[in-house]
């Protein structure tokens, strides 16, 4: 089994090593998985038409831009991730907008999908059970994908009500 979380790697495998394609994992990348969750589970829980959600991913790799238009990221019936910008592009946008994070007032964290999955504890249990000296699994669970969304409804931009339809609160 070969990882499929890097669209650059998948593209290289498709172009240079097609004989290995049967060994690629069929799992979507984290960006693809989260896009699907936003357009299916979250949309359903919040009572929002997925056609009114624009899912924006902020990723460090430019290959993620090409990944978001792959047919595999449309099996929800919608393009799961609509826009991808790089972390460098986000930084440039923030500087150009003159946003000073030190002057932004702190607010409560909005967690529409709950506060945790239990995945990290699973990795720690496996690590103790098998005596692994690596914390790779827990690092993977610690990573956060930043995905923003804007909802366009009958009441205009931002019609999603904070806390509506959230699970795990």
Q: How many CB atoms lie within 10 A of CB 37?
A: 16
List, in order of start, the domains of the chain with CATH numbers.
29-157 (3.40.50.1780)
pLDDT of 136: 39
pLDDT of 128: 63
List average pLDDT for each run of 10 residues in the chain, which is 169 residues long: 83 92 88 91 92 93 91 88 94 92 84 64 58 41 34 35 34
Burial (Cβ within 10 Å: 0-12, 13-18, ≥19) of residue 81? buried
- The answer to whether 159 and 151 have CB atoms below 8 angstroms apart is yes
Place of tokens 């589970």: 41
Handedness of CA 34, 136, 4, 57 (dihedral sign): positive
Helix, strand, or coil (residue 98): coil
pTM over 0.85: no
């Amino acid at each position: 089994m070969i990882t499929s979380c890097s669209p650059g790697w998948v593209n290289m495998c498709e172009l240079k090593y097609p004989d290995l394609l049967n060994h690629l994992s069929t799992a979507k990348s984290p960006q693809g998985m989260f896009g699907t969750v936003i357009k299916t589970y979250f949309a359903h829980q919040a009572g929002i038409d997925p056609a009114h959600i624009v899912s924006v991913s902020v990723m460090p790799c430019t290959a993620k831009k090409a990944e978001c238009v792959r047919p595999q990221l449309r099996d929800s019936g919608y393009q799961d991730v609509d826009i991808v910008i790089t972390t460098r592009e986000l930084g440039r946008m923030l500087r150009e907008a003159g946003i000073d994070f030190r002057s932004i007032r702190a607010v409560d964290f909005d967690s529409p999908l709950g506060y945790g999955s239990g995945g990290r504890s699973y990795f720690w249990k496996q690590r103790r059970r098998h005596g692994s000296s690596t914390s790779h699994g827990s690092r993977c669970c610690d990573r956060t994908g930043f995905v923003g969304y804007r909802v366009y409804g009958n009441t205009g931009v931002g019609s999603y009500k904070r806390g509506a339809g959230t699970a795990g609160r």
